Chains A and B, each alone.
Chain A
Amino acid sequence: DARVTQTPRHKVTEMGQEVTMRCQPILGHNTVFWYRQTMMQGLELLAYFRNRAPLDDSGMPKDRFSAEMPDATLATLKIQPSEPRDSAVYFCASLRTGAISGANVLTFGAGSRLTVL
């Protein structure tokens, strides 16, 4: 059963610490998204990549957030330094562009729940 894999599932850290979240998209999926979900804002798009190239990171606070895709099987989202307002669930999702059906629809990972104290 193909799935998007995210680590860590839960992270508690102190303000000012660096946080790195990782995502393995579904094999064959060429587009990867990072979302943040909070009660107040709902699902917010932070960044997305196609064929490993960053296409849009306008939703991301540039001063502390960075997103990379070092290879086709790994996407990372880094927060440095972290702040309490970054506490949220971070989802990675992937799809395959150009697919006729099924794979061209967004599939989410299980999420990384971040708590910054």
Chain B
Amino acid sequence: QKEVEQNSGPLSVPEGAIASLNCTYSDRGSQSFFWYRQYSGKSPELIMSIYSNGDKEDGRFTAQLNKASQYVSLLIRDSQPSDSATYLCAVRSGGSYIPTFGRGTSLIVHP
């Protein structure tokens, strides 16, 4: 059973702070890793993907992957109230197009 674990939160951070969201996964064969953002009442939208160990930066977002520790994280710098949403971690094994989703972490950025 492939599992993706996330702390459900809520994670509350002040505006301008760094928000750190974490995800662990059980399948060592996992090769693709994704972060989706889901606003309340909306559908998940992809914000980051990462395939290699290390960091990947895109604007205020940085995804970090450590395959040895089976750990992927998302950092949001200069957090804004508009970043308040649920962040879903998804993991895909090599040779499969089916991602396994975590339950998501609720982030609240307060002014």
Q: Are A105 and B49 in contact (CB under 8 A)?
A: yes
Q: Are A42 and B102 in contact (CB under 8 A)?
A: yes
User: Cβ of A110 < 8 Å from any Cβ of B?
Assistant: yes
Q: How many residue pairs bridge A and B at CB < 8 Å?
A: 34
**List of A residues within 8 angstroms of B103 by Cβ:** 42
Q: Are B42 and A110 in contact (CB under 8 A)?
A: yes
Q: Are B101 and A43 in contact (CB under 8 A)?
A: yes
Chain B CB within 10 A, most for which of A33, A43, A97: A43
Q: Are A106 and B43 in contact (CB under 8 A)?
A: no
Residue of B43, B88, B102, B104 near A111 (CB, 8 A) is: B43
**List of B residues within 8 angstroms of A45 by Cβ:** 98
The size bracket of the interface on A is 10 to 19
Q: Are B45 and A108 in contact (CB under 8 A)?
A: yes
**List of B residues within 8 angstroms of A108 by Cβ:** 43-45
Q: Known: A42-B103, A43-B88, A105-B34. Contact between A48 and B43, CB under 8 A?
A: no
Q: Are A95 and B97 in contact (CB under 8 A)?
A: yes
Q: Are B42 and A106 in contact (CB under 8 A)?
A: no
A108 to B39, CA, bound (A): 13
User: Cβ of B17 < 8 Å from any Cβ of A?
Assistant: no
A50 to B97, CA, bound (A): 10
Could you tell me the distance in whole angstroms from the C-beta of A64 to the nearest C-beta in chain B? 23
A31 to B98, CA, bound (A): 10
| A interface footprint on B76-111 (CB within 8 Å = 1, 0 otherwise) | 000000000000101000000111011110000000
Q: Are A104 and B43 in contact (CB under 8 A)?
A: no
**List of A residues within 8 angstroms of B34 by Cβ:** 105-106
Interface residues of A (CB under 8 A from B): 31, 33, 42-43, 45, 48, 50, 56, 91, 95, 97, 104-111
15 contacts between A and B (CB under 8 A): A42-B101, A42-B102, A43-B44, A48-B98, A97-B97, A105-B34, A105-B46, A105-B49, A106-B34, A106-B90, A106-B99, A108-B44, A108-B45, A109-B43, A110-B42
Interface residues of B (CB under 8 A from A): 34, 42-46, 49, 88, 90, 97-99, 101-104
